[in-house]
Structure formats: structure tokens, C-alpha cells
Structure 1
């Protein structure tokens, strides 16, 4: 099917032609871009800071709001420090270019996001995550002398699966290793999700769930344009490492996030908390209704429900519901079909979705 082209911000619904569709796609997990209070904060901030800051962060005129917002991001995540850039892709590439300059050897986890690639032709391992973990210590030992970079996603957002991180403890202690984790689909919501040990982790992302070793330097990168609702990216890490990143030409030459959005990050605590509570309730209802169908792969507590039944997309479309379904990350890849729950959904929306999914399973003979 051809993609829809619309001229409004997707929210609970989208309008295409003369029809409205319930919208169960996108990555605005907390519904922040659609939230009137969040929009009001931004309008006020634009009045003070304008729409952009056309300067280097390393210039001789600096805006204090960047340091203030980065301090807030570090506090939320549990990291020592944070450094913001213009996008999640740029966050990954600032780190990757820094590691390339150190002549690090790169090892990638399955389905690592392109933001972390050091070469457009990088070959990702086609292994189940558990198999990749099992062979990782030997792979590290087999590398030539010098620094090592291990790069992977915080979770499998495309197929709704959690990754454990207990394997970090088994990495060779005699190698200088930088572990780079892309948390774009977890930051802002992942701290409310169960860890591998079944407990809830503090912080607003994956940082608290990763073991810390003296021999392993941790850097977490993320897009802020998903759950957090602002256009930009962040690198989380120890203060001394981020100070080194800030000295690089790749960071110094790029334009920063608009300062108005940095201001919003310092003022939206109550809204984030409110939306996170709503999202938790919506996920709980969706799990109760959708998991019993047997149609979905789903990480408990996460707002993504993945299915291999790509026919679900046109079926729901005919019933006025739009879900995520397209080839990813390139047009040559297999379609990825998933239902995404957001804080902007109502219980009635989720119940209507579940009724349609039940009809699909009955009509398809899926039990």
C-alpha cells in the first residue's frame, strides 16, 4: 500500500481524505508533541529564545540554558553528565567519530541502529541476541591490540523485546572497552519497565540497568524526539569523557538543539510524570486485551506490540485504524508491523483496537 500523506500532527487520530483513523503508530510514546500544556511551554520558550541558535556550542557566546537542561537530563537518567546535539543520529555519530579517531575496533550487536554505524557498509551479526552475547568475550579477545568499541541498542524496539545486560560482567578486564548503547526507544519510559531481575530501575532510561566495570567505559546515546517530544539528541556518560567529545570538530562544528526546547526540558517534569502514569495504565489495558490473542510478541510494560502477521495492517485500515507497517530500516528490508500504544490514547481507543484484532484472529484462523 502507498504511504499516507497528511497535513496535520498525528495524535489519537489522523485524517486522510474524508476519513478519520485511530492512530496506533509513531514513537511519541508519552504524547508530548500533542499535549496542549507542553505546547504552551514551548510557545513561552520561543518568546524568550526564538526558534534556533545559529552558533557553535563552543563559541565565545554561550547560553546557560544548555548547561541547565543537560544537568537535568543527567539527573533523570542517573548518568554523571549529559551532552546534547541536534538529533539522535548526530548523538551516535559524535561518539562514533570520536572512537574512530582513537582507532577503536568496532563490534556490533544485532540490529544496532544506523546512528551507531562507523561505516555505511557495516555488517551486523545475524544472530539471536543470546548467541551474540555468548561469543562476545572471545570476539573481544581475538581483536588486535588497542581500544574496543561495542555498540548496540538498549532493547529490540522493532520486535518489542528486552535485552539483558548481565553479560557486561563477563567482558575481558584486560581490554579498554567502550560500551555504546542507543537508548532512543527507552529514554523517558524505560525506568518504569522491569529489569532482567524483575525489579524496577531508577532513572529515565537504560543507564541504571547496565553494570559498571572499571575496564568498561559506558556511553548512552538517544534521540529526544520520541518519548521526550523534543527535536534533538543526547549523549550520557562520565563528565571527563563528555568533555573530550565536546572538544571534537564533529561536535564543535554542528548546530545545537534549539534553545527553546532546552528550556522546555527544564520545565516539563510534572507533564512528563503525568503522561508516564497515563501510558502505564494504557499499556496495562492493552496487555490484558491483546496478549491473550497470541498474535503479538510483546515485552511486558513496553508500549510496542509486534506481529509477523503483516496482513493485520490492511485489515485494521479498513476498520479505521492505522498501525505501523513498512520495510525498516531500508526499503529492501522485510516489513515490520507493530501496534504502538501512547499516552494520548483513551481506554475506548484501546478497546476498539482489541475488538478489531479479535476479529482478525477469528477470520485468519489464528489461535
Structure 2
């Protein structure tokens, strides 16, 4: 029998994955739009490689400036509803650059489940409350803090246990303090919001003058671009451009930004297919209580760890691993993507409907 933690393969998964000669339906990973296996996107990427080569081994602050960076960042700002945008070579680097630039300017408060990319240090991981309890604590404690500037770091949603986050608590924050709200939208960007533009525009119109919104996100999940993005006001983006992290790091690969700019319809069609897959899956599922889920989001979390070996025996590979440490309970999820066919989903739901928890 396959040991889940020891799967080795030379094949990139898409809708399926071949392991030791056996084909598995692949319902895992974070390539929600299936871009890594999208042939149209691949053609645009080849065009980008032909134009810009395979990598740009230089600093964005050098005396040579490639227009594709400015073009991509202008597009991302307009697309998301932000004043300005900045791309970096990874979501992790984008997050670390952001918190390092802001670290001396205020008091950081971390919500549960924040990614290591946003941590100032290891003590940032000590939040053990669930989201709702954390919100109640935040509303009570924020007005009592001596710091005039409070920096709140939070995910846009919980991609592990498939829980949506509300942000009505922003209205209860103290008006006599400067608030910076950093949202990690790595799992929502490309899928949630208007045309997949994520959370920025959903929150920006609701904020008071003392609240500054910044969104940091991986570009590598739904969109399949190996890069990171920071969305915010022009003053912030200018400040980040002056940082040593930005100037000292290689930038995002230009060919991928070129492909992104030429793939608007590719992403649109993939997003429509993903939403159709989610709707069909939920319609065919006769045991919805088996999962936690978010409307129009492709992650379905279950507390039943036994679902994973059951599906594996039937050649379906889902996500199941212990997180955040090897001693924690397993996070078990069925994850859909745009590449799945109706036949795939029918097969999957037939198995799920027969599952005995």
C-alpha cells in the first residue's frame, strides 16, 4: 500500500497523477485554476521566454529597467483596486520584505494561522485561539495598547479548514490609533472576489481614514506565476522599493509576467470552469455534512482522517498531512481544480457518497 508521506514522482500533477504505474485522480495541491497544466498559458510563457530569456539575474534597481515589470504592476493595481502594486520573486520574500519594512513603526498583532512569510520571529506563531475568539480579544485589547500604530496581520480566509473570515470587526477598532491591516490573500487571489481579484476591493471601500490596507499574496497558487505581490498605497510601494530586500533580490521572472499579461482570457475561462466544477460537485454530493466549505471555493475540509486511505484505495489522491507540526492532527481536504472533468467529479462524489465515516 502507498505510504502517503513518501510519494515520489517525476510527473507534475494536473487532474490526475501517475504513481508507480497507477493513475490517481488528483484532488490536492493549490493550483486551483490548473495553470501549470494549461496549454494556452504554456504557449504565452514560451513567447515570454523567447522575448526575455529564462531568467533576469539582476536587481530591479539596476540602471536597466524592463518595461514588463511596470506593465504587470500597473495591471495588478488596476485589477485589484489598489493604488499600486509591487512584484517580487516569491510570496515568502514579499511577506518578509513587508513586515521588515514596517517592524519598527508599530505594534504587531497576529491572527491565528498566519503564514511564516509574515512572521517577524518564531513567537509570531503562538496564537492558539480560533478566529472568532481572537476577534473578541482583539476588540477588547486594541484600545488599551500604548502603541499609537497597530499592525494587524491576518489571512483572508482559512484554506486549511475551509472557513470564511468576516471582517466586520474592523469597524470596532479604535479610531484614535493608526491601524495597518495586512491581509494574506494567497489562497483567495485569482479565485475569490470580482473576476478573481481577491479581497482588496472588497475591504478598501469599507475602511475609515485611520485604517491602511495592505494585501500580500503569493502569485503562484491560482495564477501559477512563481512570484509574490504586495498591493497597497503608492507611499507604501515607494517605501518598499527602497528596501534592501527589494534592491538586493532577483525579481520575478519576466517571461512569467509577460505570460500573465497575455493570459486574461485563459484565467477567465479557467475560473469559470472551476466555479462550474465546484457547483457540480456540491450538487452531486449527498453527504454535505462530511465537509466544511466556503461558497465558490474549491477546498473541502473534513475531520475524518479515514477518508484519505479510503479514497487512496480507490485511486483518488487527496490532501492529508499533519499541520503545523508532525504531532498535530491531520488536515484532510478534497481540493478541486479547473482541469477536473464532470466524469472525474462524478466518480469522486460516488465514492464520497458511499463513504462510511
TM-score (norm 1): 0.93
- Within the candidate set 206, 214, 221, 2:209 is matched to 214
Secondary structure at the counterpart of residue 276 of structure 2: helix
Counterparts of 1:326-337 in structure 2, within 5 Å, are: 326-337=321-332
Of residues 352-361 and 276-285 in structure 1, the stretch that sits farther from structure 2 once superposed is 352-361
Of residues 253-262 and 203-212 in structure 1, the stretch that sits farther from structure 2 once superposed is 203-212
Partner of 2:258: 263
Q: Are the equivalent residues in 2 in contact too, given 1:293–1:358 (CA < 8 A)?
A: no
Partner of 2:171: 169
Of residues 87-96 and 328-337 in structure 1, the stretch that sits farther from structure 2 once superposed is 328-337
Secondary structure at the counterpart of residue 355 of structure 2: helix
Uncovered stretches (5+) of structure 2, i.e. residues with no partner: none
Q: Are the equivalent residues in 1 in contact too, given 2:282–2:288 (CA < 8 A)?
A: no
| Distance in 1 (alpha carbons) for counterparts of 2:337 and 2:276 | 10
Partner of 2:153: 151
Of residues 127-136 and 16-25 in structure 1, the stretch that sits farther from structure 2 once superposed is 127-136
- The answer to whether 1:247 aligns with 2:242 is yes
Partner of 1:35: 38
CA deviation profile, 1:323-362 (whole Å, cap 9, x unmatched):
000122343432110000100000110110111112213x
1:160: Cα distance to partner?
Answer: 0.8
1:293: Cα distance to partner?
Answer: 4.0
Q: Are the equivalent residues in 1 in contact too, given 2:59–2:249 (CA < 8 A)?
A: yes
| Distance in 2 (alpha carbons) for counterparts of 1:359 and 1:67 | 52
1:139: Cα distance to partner?
Answer: 1.8
Q: Are the equivalent residues in 1 in contact too, given 2:89–2:227 (CA < 8 A)?
A: yes
Q: Are the equivalent residues in 2 in contact too, given 1:218–1:237 (CA < 8 A)?
A: yes
Distance 1:124 1:154, change over 3 A: farther
Q: Are the equivalent residues in 1 in contact too, given 2:195–2:268 (CA < 8 A)?
A: no
Secondary structure at the counterpart of residue 230 of structure 1: coil
Partner of 1:301: 296
Partner of 2:197: 204
- Within the candidate set 270, 277, 284, 1:275 is matched to 270
Give the root-mean-square deviation of aligned CA atoms: 1.4
Secondary structure at the counterpart of residue 84 of structure 1: strand
Q: Are the equivalent residues in 1 in contact too, given 2:281–2:345 (CA < 8 A)?
A: yes
Q: Are the equivalent residues in 2 in contact too, given 1:109–1:124 (CA < 8 A)?
A: no
Distance 1:356 1:12, change over 3 A: same
CA deviation profile, 1:267-325 (whole Å, cap 9, x unmatched):
10010111011011000011112363421111121100000111111110110000000
- Within the candidate set 76, 79, 95, 1:92 is matched to 95
Partner of 1:138: 140
| Distance in 1 (alpha carbons) for counterparts of 2:326 and 2:99 | 25
| Distance in 2 (alpha carbons) for counterparts of 1:290 and 1:152 | 32
CA deviation profile, 1:60-118 (whole Å, cap 9, x unmatched):
1111100100111112211111100111111111111011132x211011111111111
CA deviation profile, 1:237-287 (whole Å, cap 9, x unmatched):
011111111111121111111000111111100101110110110000111
- The answer to whether 1:292 aligns with 2:292 is no
Secondary structure at the counterpart of residue 246 of structure 2: helix
Find runs of 4+ consecutive structure 1 residues off by over 4 angstroms: none
- Report the count of equivalent residues: 352
Partner of 1:195: none
TM-score (norm 2): 0.95
Q: Are the equivalent residues in 2 in contact too, given 1:306–1:338 (CA < 8 A)?
A: yes
| Distance in 2 (alpha carbons) for counterparts of 1:293 and 1:129 | 23
| Distance in 2 (alpha carbons) for counterparts of 1:121 and 1:136 | 17
1:125: Cα distance to partner?
Answer: 2.4
Partner of 1:160: 162
| Distance in 2 (alpha carbons) for counterparts of 1:202 and 1:345 | 20
Of residues 230-239 and 202-211 in structure 1, the stretch that sits farther from structure 2 once superposed is 202-211
1:141: Cα distance to partner?
Answer: 2.0
Of residues 302-311 and 105-114 in structure 1, the stretch that sits farther from structure 2 once superposed is 105-114
- Within the candidate set 55, 61, 68, 2:71 is matched to 68
- The answer to whether 1:23 aligns with 2:26 is yes
Partner of 1:121: 123
